[in-house]
Amino acid sequence: MHDSKTGQKDAYQMILEAIDTGTYGPGDRLVESELAERFDMSRTPIREALQRLETQSLLTRDGRSLIVASLDHNQLAELYAVRTELEGLAARLAARHGAPEELRVLREMATEDRALVNDPAALARANRRFHKQIHLASHNRYLVQQLDLVHRTMALLATTSLAVEGRSETALAEHDAIVSAIEARDEDAACEALRAHLSRAFETRLRLDAGKAGTLD
């Protein structure tokens, strides 16, 4: 049996990963006993993890039940506004501070991810890895911490914008432009390329959500 401290960490990461991978989506109810059985641990670390996720607004109350939160239009706009500013700064700092080895890894990711163009789920995972590498290359721990919080909230988006027809190809081209600017040590260009990338991602997300709304009577 896990101790409370270790169990809480494990339970938190496991539940967060289950939300991130779509095992639990917005509106799904999380039941303490079911989670304890799924993850083969006692209910105490599960309860502590659920409380932590609720504090972070990843879970919300529906009566007495805890459900996976969802983002409304305003929350989505606010999230992308913050993400765009922070990631633009990360790209700028990566161009300034990134080690040659880190930049080579970024280039390899941008190249290898082209093989995933027809697999939106795999490309979404690779996309998160790509952005995380830029965060780390910024060499600013406080910025990385804030971006971790932002990307944790991104897990509440039930679908990836990369599933929209044509978005995968354009997103990968945008990744190439970001890496090229970072490799050139052009801080302004790196920042602008990253901001433009997220602007197009946000626009795609809005169109995706509008399409869903359009299917309702």
List pLDDT tens digits, range 29-85. Answer: 999 999 999 999 999 999 999 999 999 889 999 888 899 998 888 999 999 999 999
CATH code of the domain covering residue 42: 1.10.10.10
Together in a domain, 95 and 43: no
Shared domain for 90 and 138, answered yes or no, is yes
Token match 């967060």: residue? Answer: 16
Structural domain containing residue 128:
73-213
Residues 172 and 193 in one domain: yes
Nearest residue to 201 via CA among 179, 180, 176, 172: 172
Residues 44 and 140 in one domain: no
Q: Cβ(11)–Cβ(46) under 8 Å?
A: yes
Residues 53 and 121 in one domain: no
For residues 77 and 37, state if they share a domain.
Answer: no
Q: Rounded to whole angstroms, how far apart are CA atoms 71 and 77?
A: 9
Residue 61 has a pLDDT of 92
Predicted pLDDT of residue 212: 62
Low-confidence ranges of the chain (pLDDT < 50): 1-8, 214-217
Among the three residues 46, 68, 90, which one is the final residue of a domain in this structure? 68
Contact 121, 160 (CB under 8 A): yes
Asked if residue 51 and residue 113 are part of one domain, the reply reads: no
Tally of CA atoms within 13 A in the half-sphere of 44 that contains its CB: 7
Residues 103 and 25 in one domain: no
The pLDDT value recorded for residue 9 is 53
Report the CATH number that the domain containing residue 122 is assigned in CATH.
Answer: 1.20.120.530
The residue among 68, 97, 124 that closes a domain is: 68
pTM for this one?
A: 0.82
Instruction: State whether 63 and 107 are in the same domain.
Output: no
Q: Are 94 and 51 members of one domain? A: no
The number of distinct structural domains making up the chain is 2
What is the structure's pLDDT at 135? 98
> Which pLDDT score, from 0 to 100, does residue 210 have?
77
Q: Are residues 43 and 139 in the same domain?
A: no
In a shared domain, residues 84 and 157: yes
